[in-house]
Structure 1
Amino acid sequence: MLPLSLSSSYRRLADVYDHLMADAPYDQWMGFAAEAWRLTRTRPRRVAELGCGTGSLTRYLLERELEVWGVDLSADMLAVAREKVQRSHPRAAVHWLRQDIRELALPELVDSVISFCDTLNYIPDAEGIKQVFARVFATLTPGGTFLFDVHTPYKIAEVFGNESFSYQDEHVAYIWQSIYYEDEEAVEHDLTLFVREKDDLYRRFHERHRQKAYSLEALRQWLADTGFDVLSITADFTSQPVATDSERAFFIARKPH
C-alpha cells in the first residue's frame, strides 16, 4: 500500500489513487472508530473526516447514517470523492470542504473528528500539529472524540527509511524511492507512476510526498496542552500498547464535558 494521504501535490494521482489503494484496510479503520465510540459511550451524529481523500472511508461512515464533513486539501481528490459518493449514496448527508486542516473551520460543531491513513504525518512541523489539535478541539461538541492514527517513528525510519519499492500490474506501474532525513526525522517519498491509457501507451507522471515522525509522548502532551483527555494510545489496529517495532499508533482523545 502506498504511503499516501493529505497532500497538496496530488494533481493527477487522484485518477489512479483508488486502484493503488485497493488493499487499504478501510474496514479496520471504521472498526477502530466504531469501537472507540462504543468504549467512550458516544453516539455521534455529525462526524468530520480530515484527509478524506477519494471518500472510500467516507462511504463506511455514511453506511452508519452519519452526517459527514469530508475535508481534504486536494481539489482533485475531493472531485473523485464527490462523484464516487454520489453514485453509491445519492441521498447521503455529506459535505465536502477543501481546507488545510491546520485552518479547519466548519460551519457547525461535530460530535467526532477522525483522521486516519497517517494524515497527520504530512503536517511538516510541531506548530502545525498543535494548530490542528486546537482547531479540532474548537470544532468538537463537549464530550466529543478525536480519533486518529500516525506512522510511528520506527516505521518512518526503519520501514520506509532509504528503501526502494516497485509495482506493476496491467493498469499502472510505479517506482518509489524513499529518502530518510535523520536530523529531521522525516522521509521523502519520490514516486514515478506509469498509467496505461486507452491506446495501450503509458502516461508518466511524478509525485513527491514528505512525512514527518512525531514521538507519541509529544503528541500526547500536545493533546493534553490543548485540553483533551487522552484515553488511549494503541498499536496497529489492536488494543495493545505501542511497542518498539509497532508501525502505526492509534489515539483516542476526548474533549471534556
Structure 2
Amino acid sequence: MMTYEAFAVLYDELMYDQPYDKWLELTVPYLNGKQSILDLACGTGSFTALLPKQLDRVGVDLSEDMLTVAQTKDPSIQWLVQDMTALELDMTFDVITCFCDSMNYVTTEEDLNKLFSHVYMHLEEDGVFLFDVHSVWKMTNLFDGQTYSDETEHVTYLWQTEPGEEENSVYHDMSFFTLEEDGRYRRFDESHYQRTFPLEFYIELLETNQFTVEKVFADFNTDRPIEEDAERIFYVARKKCKR
C-alpha cells in the first residue's frame, strides 16, 4: 500500500490536468471586498496558492505530507492539519471552499452533517460556502467497473473502479509504477473510497444546518441546469441565520 508520504510526492504530477483555474474563476466573484478564505481538503495546495494574496488564506488537509508539499508553493499561507469533519479553528472566514470532489470522501450522513455544522460555525455572518461533488450519474455510469490509465514522464498508473457496498459509492483501486534513478520501476498501490448523495439530500442537509442554498449548477457552467448526465455538481450556500 502506498503511504501518504509517497503519494504526496506524486500527487502534483498525477493531477497535472486538474482545472484549478476553473475553480478559481468560480470562487473569485465571491471574494470581492472579503478578507479571508479557508480551503478544505487542500491537498498539496495548488488551488489554494492561486487565491489572491491580499486575503488571509488558510489551507486545511488531513495529510501532513500533502501540506509539506503545499508549504513549498506558498509559505505565506497558513497550512493546518485537521479533519474537516471535526474542524476546530480559532478564526472565522468570509469564504470556505472544498473542491476537487473532496466532499465525496465524507461517506456517511452523520459525518456530512458534522462537516456542514463545523463549516457554518467557521463562517462569518453572510459568509459563503462553495463545494463540488461527483453526481449520482457519474458514480453509476463512469465508475461502474471501468479501468482508466495514464502516463507521465515519471509515473504510469492504472485505475480501476468498482461499486461500493453503499448506494452511490465506489472503490478506486490504483497501481502506480514510478521510474527510479536506476531505470527500474517501483510499484505502489493505493485504494480510495468515495460516496455521493442525491442533489436533494445535500440541499436539505445544508438547509438543516441553516444555510441558504443560493445556486446549484453543473460542470463549471453556472448557467447550466442539472441535467441527467451532469458529472460534477456545484453548490453555493450562504450563512444567513445566527444560531
Q: TM-score, normalised by structure 2?
A: 0.94
Corresponding residue number in structure 2 for 1:43: 33
Q: TM-score, normalised by structure 1?
A: 0.89
- Aligned residue type for 1:229: T
Corresponding residue number in structure 2 for 1:246: 230
1:99 to 44, 67, 82: 82
1:23 to 8, 13, 17: 17
Q: How many angstroms apart in 2 are the aligned matches of 1:168 and 1:52? A: 24
Q: CA deviation at 1:58?
A: 1.0
Q: Is the 8 A contact 1:10 1:207 kept in 2?
A: no
Q: How many angstroms apart in 2 are the aligned matches of 1:117 and 1:187? A: 16
Report whether the alignment pairs 1:120 with 2:103: yes
Report whether the alignment pairs 1:74 with 2:63: yes
Could you say what secondary structure the match of 1:160 adopts? coil
Could you say what secondary structure the match of 2:193 adopts? strand
Corresponding residue number in structure 2 for 1:211: 194
Could you say what secondary structure the match of 2:100 adopts? coil
The 4+ residue runs of structure 1 with deviation greater than 2 A are 8-11, 181-184
Q: How many angstroms apart in 2 are the aligned matches of 1:238 and 1:179? A: 29
* Aligned pairs for 1:63-212 within 5 A: 63-86=52-75, 92=76, 94-181=77-164, 183-212=166-195
1:69-107 Cα deviation digits (max 9, x unpaired): 100001110111012223xxxxx3x21111110001111
Q: How many angstroms apart in 2 are the aligned matches of 1:208 and 1:236? A: 25
Report whether the alignment pairs 1:255 with 2:243: no
Q: How many angstroms apart in 1 are the aligned matches of 2:161 and 2:150? A: 14
Question: What is the percentage of aligned positions where both structures have the same residue?
Answer: 39
- How many residues are paired up? 239
Q: How many angstroms apart in 1 are the aligned matches of 2:42 and 2:166? A: 30
* Alpha-carbon RMSD: 1.6
- Aligned residue type for 1:18: D
Could you say what secondary structure the match of 2:66 adopts? helix
Could you say what secondary structure the match of 1:17 adopts? helix
Q: CA deviation at 1:183?
A: 4.5
Instruction: Please list every run of 5 or more consecutive structure 1 residues that lacks an aligned counterpart in the other structure.
Output: 1-7, 87-91
1:92-147 Cα deviation digits (max 9, x unpaired): 3x211111100011111111100000111001211111100000000001000000
Q: Is the 8 A contact 1:9 1:208 kept in 2?
A: no
